[in-house]
């Protein structure tokens, strides 16, 4: 009983805390326009080699909604000037199980932009304990390994429209070296829980339409780094099958979707890019995958598959 009352009190104080800020942000919003200049939350390290996950990647059942920078106990800086919107640290509820995001902090910036910092180490930084207003590049925490995190890293998120749209931070931050083109690897056909690798020129037997997936990734300067796929498109027997851009995701009817309205399940299957549930015809089928990365480096790969249609077993 006491506990739930305390929760309500906490919630009420949180809401009261937010209200004046939302008013403030609306005022700021009308004053300034244009794309803000953000800065990297981790500085003074070899950033190009530390970006290990990119925006929009598959995380089994959801989009990865930010960028990962491999680092631990490094100062984390605010992407832009703003106000501390929310923070939650494990020490607030020592008897509760740690959340997946670990210690987190959200900062609100002008024009409805917000930034979030996850898996932070230790306790609240004195800057966010002692004040609400934060300068651009000011230290707001320390990178860590709290929550669902394997190895120390900073996961950070950039949003606009007060968080209803999440953006690929790479489009807003000073560019990092990216010399690798997207790598389009193997094509799979999935039949139930099993899958078969399809190589260009293979002969296969099918009875009906099955999901076809492809593995695509984009390195930075080395394979171990990530910059991410920005656009992907599929052409099946000369017909455009699907196309999307991973510049942003927005929340719509209970799901995160890319700008052209595709959800995670439309774009991924079994942790791989979903080309489509393709009804392969007898004879030659041509599947073309085109992918480009953030530096507009474009790769394409064509798979020719010879198909024999067989009677459906089940």
Give the footprint of Zn ion on this chain (CB under 5 A): 68, 155
Q: Is the dihedral of CA 220, 224, 228, 233 positive or negative?
A: positive
- Asked if residue 80 lies in contact with residue 117, where contact means CB atoms within 8 angstroms, the answer is no
Nearest CB to Zn ion, comparing residues 104 and 206: 104
Nearer to Zn ion, 151 or 201 (CB): 151
Smallest separation (angstroms) from Zn ion to the CB of 305:
35
Q: Which one, 68 or 293, has the nearer CB to Zn ion?
A: 68
**Paired strand residues for 83:** 108, 133
Q: How far is the CB of 133 from Zn ion (least distance, A)?
A: 27
Query: Which residue, 155 or 227, has its beta carbon nearer to Zn ion?
Result: 155
Looking only at Cα atoms, what is the longest distance across the chain?
71
Q: For residues 68 and 80, which CB has a smaller minimum distance to Zn ion in the complex?
A: 68
**Token pair belonging to 66:** 């930010």
Residue with Cβ nearer Zn ion (118 or 269): 118
Q: Which is nearer to Zn ion, 155 or 160 (CB)?
A: 155
Minimum separation from the CB atom of position 139 to Zn ion (A): 21
Q: Are 204 and 307 in contact (CB under 8 A)?
A: yes
Nearest residue to 249 via CA among 262, 265, 233: 262
> Residue 169 in contact with residue 156, Cβ under 8 Å?
yes
List of residues 6+ apart from 88 with CB closer than 8 A = 99, 103, 104
Q: Which is nearer to Zn ion, 83 or 156 (CB)?
A: 156
Q: Measured at CB, which residue is nearest to Zn ion? A: 155
Sequence-ordered alpha helix ranges (H) in 32-125:
47-50
Angle among Cα 158, 151, 182 to the nearest 5 degrees reads 60
CB of 52 to Zn ion, least distance (A): 9
Under 8 Å between Cβ of 314 and 257 = no
Query: For residue 209, which of 280, 304, 303, 286 has the smallest C-alpha distance?
Result: 280
CB 293 within 8 A of CB 230: yes
CA dihedral 43, 47, 50, 53 (to 10 degrees): 100
CB of residue 66 to Zn ion, shortest distance in Å: 5
Question: Minimum distance from CB of 246 to Zn ion (Å)?
Answer: 15
Q: CB of residue 155 vs Zn ion: minimum separation in angstroms?
A: 3
> Which is nearer to Zn ion, 105 or 212 (by Cβ)?
105
Tokens 């293979």: give the residue.
Answer: 202
Buried/exposed 170-192: b ≥16 CB within 10 Å, e otherwise:
bebbeebebebebebeebbbbee
Taking the complex as a whole, the smallest distance from the CB of residue 156 to Zn ion amounts, in Å, to 8
Task: Please state the closest distance from residue 73 (CB atom) to Zn ion, in A.
Answer: 18
């Amino acid at each position: 009983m006491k506990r739930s009352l305390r929760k309500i009190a906490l919630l009420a104080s949180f809401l009261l805390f937010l209200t004046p800020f939302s008013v403030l942000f609306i005022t700021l919003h009308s004053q300034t326009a244009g794309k803000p200049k953000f800065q990297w939350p981790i500085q003074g390290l070899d950033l190009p080699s530390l970006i290990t996950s990119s925006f929009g990647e598959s995380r089994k059942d959801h989009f990865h909604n930010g960028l990962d920078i491999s680092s631990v106990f490094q100062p984390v800086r605010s992407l832009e000037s703003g106000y501390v919107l929310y923070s939650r640290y494990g020490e607030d509820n020592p008897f509760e199980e740690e959340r997946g995001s670990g210690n987190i902090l959200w900062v609100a910036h002008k024009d409805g932009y917000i930034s979030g910092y996850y898996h932070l180490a230790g306790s609240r930084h004195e800057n966010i304990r002692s004040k609400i207003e934060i300068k651009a590049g000011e230290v707001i925490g320390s990178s860590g390994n709290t929550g669902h995190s394997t190895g120390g890293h900073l996961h950070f998120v950039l949003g606009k429209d007060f968080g209803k749209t999440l953006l690929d931070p790479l489009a807003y931050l000073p560019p990092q070296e990216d010399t690798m083109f997207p790598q389009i690897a193997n094509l799979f056909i999935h039949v139930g829980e099993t899958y078969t690798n399809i190589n260009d020129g293979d002969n296969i037997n099918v009875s009906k339409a099955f999901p076809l997936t492809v593995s695509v990734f984009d390195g930075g300067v080395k394979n171990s780094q990530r910059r991410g796929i920005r656009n992907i498109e599929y052409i099946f027997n000369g017909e455009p099958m699907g196309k999307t851009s991973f510049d942003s995701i927005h929340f719509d009817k209970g799901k995160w979707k890319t700008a052209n309205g595709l959800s995670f399940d439309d774009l991924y299957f079994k942790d791989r890019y979903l080309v489509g549930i393709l009804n392969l015809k007898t004879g030659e089928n041509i599947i073309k995958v085109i992918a480009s990365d953030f530096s507009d480096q474009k790769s394409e790969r064509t798979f020719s598959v010879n198909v024999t249609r067989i009677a459906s077993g089940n």
